[in-house]
Amino acid sequence: MLDYAIHAFATLFVAIGPIDLASLFIALSARADAPARQRMALRGVLISAQESGLLHR
């Protein structure tokens, strides 16, 4: 199971391009204050975790 998770993470890491997404986040949140940027980042992490199946309800 751990081997599968590592391979899945590596595949997603390469496919999604976190450096590209970081630059997009910086551009979209340039005018927001620090607490608003933190809320946006947390929301993005929670949504991506939910979509990838890491959080189960």
Structure-token pair, residue 5: 């998770």
Residue 43: CB atoms within 10 Å: 10
* Domains: count for the chain: 1
What's residue 35's pLDDT?
Answer: 96
Q: What is the pTM of this model?
A: 0.59
Answer whether residue 12 is part of any domain: no
Per-residue pLDDT of the chain (57 residues; tens, 9 = 90+): 788 878 877 887 777 777 888 888 899 899 999 999 999 999 988 888 887 776 665
Answer whether residue 11 is part of any domain: no
Answer whether residue 40 is part of any domain: yes
Q: Which domain holds residue 55?
A: 17-57
What's residue 25's pLDDT?
Answer: 87
What's residue 56's pLDDT?
Answer: 64
Answer whether residue 48 is part of any domain: yes
Answer whether residue 54 is part of any domain: yes
